[in-house]
Chain A
Amino acid sequence: MIYLDSAATSFLKPPAVRHAVLGAMQHMTSPGRGGHRLAMAAAETVYRCRQEAAALFRMEDPSRVVFTLNATHALNIAIRSLIKPGDAVVISCWEHNAVTRPLHALGAKVRVARGRLFDPESVLDAFRKALPGSKAAVCTHVSNVFGFVLPIGEIAALCYDAGVPLIVDAAQSAGVLDVDMTQLRAAFLAMPGHKGLLGPQGTGLLLCGADGAPLLYGGTGSNSREQIMPETLPDRHEAGTHNVPGIAGLAAGLEFVAPRRARIEAIDQDRLRQLIAGLRRIDDLELFYDPEGRSQCGVLSLRSRSVDCETLASRLADRGVAVRGGLHCAPLAHESGGTLETGTVRLSLSPFLSPREIDGAAAIMRDICTKKD
Chain B
Amino acid sequence: MRQDCLILFRSLTFAQRAAHVLERGGITATVRKAPQGLTDRGCTYCVRLRANRLNAALALLDQRGTEHGKVFLAREDGGWQEVRP
Contact = CB atoms under 8 A, between A and B. Distances in A.
Contacts of B40: 225
Given A35-B32, A35-B33, A40-B31, A47 B41 contact: no
B17 interface: yes
B51 interface: no
A241 interface: no
A31 B14 CA distance: 13
A230 B42 contact: no
Contacts of A47: 13, 16-17, 20
B31 A222 contact: no
Nearest to A230: B11
Consensus secondary structure, chain B interface: mixed
Interface of B: 10-14, 16-17, 20, 31-33, 40-45
Given A35-B33, A40-B31, A222-B45, A235 B11 contact: yes
Nearest to B17: A63
A367 interface: no
17 contacts: A32-B45, A34-B33, A40-B31, A43-B31, A44-B16, A63-B17, A221-B11, A223-B11, A223-B41, A224-B42, A224-B43, A225-B40, A226-B42, A230-B10, A230-B11, A234-B11, A234-B13
A225 to B, nearest CB: 4
Interface in A232-282: 232-235
Contacts of B20: 47, 51
Contacts of B31: 40, 43
Contacts of A44: 16
A62 B17 contact: yes
A240 to B, nearest CB: 14
Given A35-B32, A40-B31, A43-B31, A63 B41 contact: no
B11 A220 contact: yes
B43 A63 contact: no
Interface of A: 31-32, 34-35, 40, 43-44, 47, 50-51, 61-63, 220-226, 230, 232-235
B56 to A, nearest CB: 22
Contacts of B14: 63, 232
Which of B10, B11, B13, B40 is most buried by chain A, counting CB atoms within 10 A of its CB? B13
Contacts of B13: 47, 50, 62-63, 233-235
Contacts of B41: 222-226
Contacts of A225: 40-42
A222 B16 contact: no
Contacts of A234: 11, 13
A324 B33 CA distance: 48
Nearest to A225: B42
B44 A222 contact: yes
B80 to A, nearest CB: 15
B12 A31 contact: yes
B11 A232 contact: yes
Which 3 A-B pairs have CB atoms at the shortest separation, nearest pair first? A224-B42, A225-B42, A35-B33
Given A43-B31, A222-B41, A230-B11, 19 more contacts: A31-B12, A47-B16, A50-B13, A63-B11, A63-B17, A220-B11, A221-B43, A222-B12, A222-B42, A222-B45, A225-B40, A225-B42, A226-B42, A230-B10, A232-B11, A232-B14, A234-B13, A235-B11, A235-B12
Contacts of B11: 32, 63, 220-223, 230, 232, 234-235
A222 to B, nearest CB: 4
Nearest to A35: B33
B10 A221 contact: no
A149 to B, nearest CB: 33
B43 A222 contact: yes
Contacts of A32: 11-12, 45
Nearest to B45: A222
Contacts of A233: 13
B66 to A, nearest CB: 10
B44 to A, nearest CB: 6
A223 B12 contact: no
